[in-house]
Amino acid sequence: MKGQKSKWRALSLCTVLGSTLAGCGASPQNISSPSGAQSASQSEAQSQALGGQQRPSQTSSASEGGASKAQPIAPSYTSAEESFALWLPGKPTELVRQVSVPGAGLVRVRTISLSTPKAVYVVVPTSVPESVSLSNPDPFLDGVQAGFVASSRGKLVSSKSIKLGQYPGREIVVSVGASKITVHIFLGDKRSYQVMAVLPPGQPITDAQTTKVLDSFQILSR
């Protein structure tokens, strides 16, 4: 288990920040960089094609003990392959890379990002091994959290349990200099998702646009 946690720490620091960091090995290799934005109607059609309905997100203030329900937000971007959807205030860039991870070799990673004046929004879906359990998510979530804080060279401001329907998660806020990063980490079926907002100095983490982006995230039924 210790080795597995180290693997996921390394993966988070190599992929989430989208840069070459110490301990990551070779530089990421770009495979493709298509645009992946889709309309809300396309999102709904792809969700139906997957044989299920989109799961509405819970509010980011939901805790492990109970979750407050929010009205679903219509997504503007859907990834049928990675089984998620969310609303973004513009057309994102999709980048597929291969990242060298110690102990795991080359790992194929897709990142979806959008830069706006208020924040940079990034989604990183990642496959996880079958040994990672939804019924005991804390070791995995702890590893991703520790890896993110270490890789950003930031300071952990807050950490709390959240849920997205049946899926366990963690919300962390990390300060890096005068900037703050809010990250929602979810453990889904065979995948984990890191949904983050990188906020410039002076931008509140409770900004309406950022709250809408984070709260709109959905894991799609397969």
- How many other CB atoms sit within 10 Å of the CB of residue 191? 17
Which of the four pLDDT bands, split at 50, 70 and 90, describes residue 23? very low
Q: Which residues contact 126 (CB under 8 A, 6 or more apart)?
A: 11, 15, 109, 191, 192, 193, 194
Is residue 98's pLDDT more than 90?
A: no
Q: Which residues contact 83 (CB under 8 A, 6 or more apart)?
A: 50, 125, 188, 189, 191, 219, 220, 221, 222
- Which residue(s) pair with 162 in the sheet? 169
Measured at the CA of 109, the angle between CA 206 and CA 18, to 5 degrees, comes to 55
Which of helix, strand or coil describes residue 5?
Answer: helix
pLDDT at residue number 108: 75
pLDDT at residue number 104: 57
Domain ranges of the chain: 2-219
Burial of 161 (0-12, 13-18, 19+ CB in 10 A): middle
pLDDT at residue number 100: 65
- How many other CB atoms sit within 10 Å of the CB of residue 57? 30
CA–CA gap between residue 22 and residue 92 (Å, rounded): 28
pLDDT in tens, 112-123: 999 999 999 999
pLDDT in tens, 160-218: 999 999 999 999 999 998 899 999 999 998 899 999 999 989 888 889 999 999 999 99
Q: Which residues contact 21 (CB under 8 A, 6 or more apart)?
A: 13, 14, 151
pLDDT at residue number 216: 96
CA–CA gap between residue 36 and residue 176 (Å, rounded): 29
Is residue 16's pLDDT more than 60?
A: no
pLDDT in tens, 126-150: 888 888 889 999 999 999 999 889 8
Phi, psi of 9 (to 5 degrees): -65, -45
Which of helix, strand or coil describes residue 119?
Answer: coil
Fold of the CATH domain 2-219: Protein Transport Mog1p; Chain A (3.40.1000)
Is residue 117 within 8 Å of residue 89, measured between CB atoms?
no
pLDDT in tens, 36-77: 334 333 333 333 333 333 333 333 334 444 444 557 789 999
Higher pLDDT, 97 or 154: 154
